[in-house]
Structure 1
Amino acid sequence: MADTLTPVLTANWGDDRAWKLNNYEQGGGYQALRKALQMQPDDVVAAVKDSGLRGRGGAGFPTGMKWSFIPKDNPNPTYLVVNADESEPGTCKDIPLMMASPHTLVEGVIISSYAIKAKYAFIYVRGEVLHVIRRLQQAVREAYSAGYIGKHVLGTDFDLEVIVHAGAGAYICGEETALLDSLEGRRGQPRLRPPFPAVAGLYASPTVINNAESIASVPGIVGNGADWFAAMGTEKSKGMGIFSLSGHVANPGQFEAPLGITLRKLIELAGGMREGHTLKFWTPGGSSTPLLTDEHLDLVLDFDSVVAAGSMLGTRALQCFDDTTSVVRTVLRWTEFYKHESCGKCTPCREGTWWLVQILKRLEEGRGEEGDIEKLLDLCENILGRSFCALGDGATSPISSAIKYFRDEFEAGMHTPAWELFPYERSTIFVRKPAEAGVTG
């Protein structure tokens, strides 16, 4: 396993106007598409299977295997849907990817559609990032003009239409079946499964839903070969991925590295923690994954190792918090987000997240009551595994893990406000200088 950066998806991010078609082509763009069109669709699926690519949006399900679930004898059309509704606090990889190099994703969409024999592909983007939507729409227009999309792609008998769809600002639409409902013009709420999307997805037709980074990884696999991709990463977590470091690190940003790198190495690449402070806790896959602490600095960041440590790799959103941070305040802010974003379809999530916020607020303010910690754990237990989709589970993960590692801070909430134990101005990341704040003298 290599432990250095491996720029593939991010290789052209620093190039001049990397988002333009001409510049993307000069770097070898769309050559993988030409190669794919000379292969049989099933061979493209086999290549993605052999590469070991696992979903880059959360659970890490094998991408090629998901493609193979599409029934061969279904009379309805097959659809490809790209989940680019990146909305979870701390997650920041798909948006910069689409902003810097939208054609990487577009080429992946075309190859993936060819592989699963889809004639229509939808890219569902978070509605708030209008600048990204416009850039992606422009890239799709350029691809149409160049003959990469439309009728008879590059002179073949393959036809494809690509639609960029702007979401309406609902975190729940990151859940794949809620996304499908939203695409169909309904309120975004998760569907009961079965049937699964591979059999009855968009418009009750066979549908493949993949994360944007997963699809963007396909051109590299086709262009360089499955063995090239599989040579990176670990035994069961192949390839590279974009790790997003944020929080109290010296130089936050996106770092593309093989799966299996450690947080310690990534923090070194980011210039270390901010001067004078040490790591206290962090999330391996966004705010919906269980917290880990400084004792996990050398944990191998692949799907299975992180699960074995009691968390999830998820979207590789590594939020790093130093010793100035209140754990109680942090999980309260996240829980407020999940309460607000609950779609309201099921009682455990709709009511449970509201009660979690009330108790956490008391503890933050130092007004905790006897039994509050046990009540929090009981609520988490009754939400976990009992909500309609994973949003409820994700809302409980940071709370139960925070109590596991930092129970003393929750106990202190019975008598002392969190802002007295951890003054919030000390944990502020962006500190303005006196002159910038309008202070003189």
Structure 2
Amino acid sequence: MTPHIDTQARHWLRSMFDAAIASAQPAVCLPPHLPAPPRGRTVVIGAGKASAQMAQVLEAHWPAPLSGVVVTRYGHAAACQHVRVLESAHPVPDAAGLTAAQQMLKAVESLTADDLVIGLWSGGGSALLPLPLPGITLADKQALNQALLRSGASIGEMNCVRRHLSAIKGGRLALACSPARVVNLVMSDVPGDDPLDVASGPTVADPTTRAQALAILQRYRIALPPAVTAALDTAASESIKPGDTRLGPITTHVIATPDLALQAAAQVARQAGIEPTLLGDALEGEACDMGTVLAGVARYAAKAPSPLHRVLLSGGESTVTLRAPAPRQPMPTPGRGGRNVECLLSMALSLKGLPGVYALAGDTDGIDGLEPVAGAIATPDTLERAAALGQHATAALDAHDAHTFFCALGDAVITGPTGTNVNDFRAILIAATG
């Protein structure tokens, strides 16, 4: 491929990623779903990486007085006049998140049936809003959260556990709002777009059970602090169920989804004369394995000659299972990982420099893993360039250190906090052969 094609491919991939992010901005997707003001008070609550931007947009479009509190990840705050914006840690919760949860419960005290609660929920809210059940400490929750993140459990499985160990999730915050009307505005970052799994569903009823939560922990052989075991053995850990007569009226709108983001990227592709194929918005599995599978799909597609450039688009949420060291070996230094770049590096290794195939993988919130890097781009000469720089692709993959690998090549994709979160984005461009 010529240098021109390489430059053009990078531009197209980044344009599709940017379009996916732009389509899910709160300023675009939130205003059409705002309810009418109530006769009484309007209280705004919310948690997630996009919650501050959502609150900012809500304030700009709300015609009546309001108050409230939302919590977002450190570095993702936005200026609001009437809604307090708090920050806490993600993905492992901290004391600031516990304080935010307590303040959110206080904000919805003593509401009436004339009042309205608007819930602004987006991905990341589970970690940002920790409030353990009585008897469970924040340290217990932190240890359990870290074990879940290392286990390879899916986001749905992790959230089922979180809902049954929380004093605010799994519908408990909805119960605290009663009898006020609750309107949830949800930006989905989960496969299937179930509001129950966005921020672990603080203001939606939960049909799952504590027995299911315990089974998940047993399936992944996660050692439990004694207080967690005791909590799951009692009815107090059961979440609020659908049909609970104590709940007030609840309406939920999913205002942004991974599929809509992929559709926006596909439109950009068509405008550039590229034929898009959507592989799905809910792909799940181990990031390394997903990269191998996507490489196989790309290789098969590249075998068919085409006069058009083509792009394979997909979304969802992969997982990374951190491998334990061999017996008597020290725990390795954690790599600068991220599920998107791990998937991309695995894909590049499987493609082995296949000509004409370029790919981008990134997180639409602008943060892949713990790094202030959204993702990266892989090209047919990625492995060759890496070898010339002394970067070993297989070793980087084994060490979960793909961010270091791609940053050394100058192929990291950096957006900064995007103000939205509709999960992972992957685009594989196959250059025309006809």
Q: Which of the pair is proportionally richer in strand?
A: 2
Give the alignment's TM-score, normalised by structure 2: 0.26
Give the alignment's TM-score, normalised by structure 1: 0.26
Q: Which of the pair is proportionally richer in helix?
A: 1
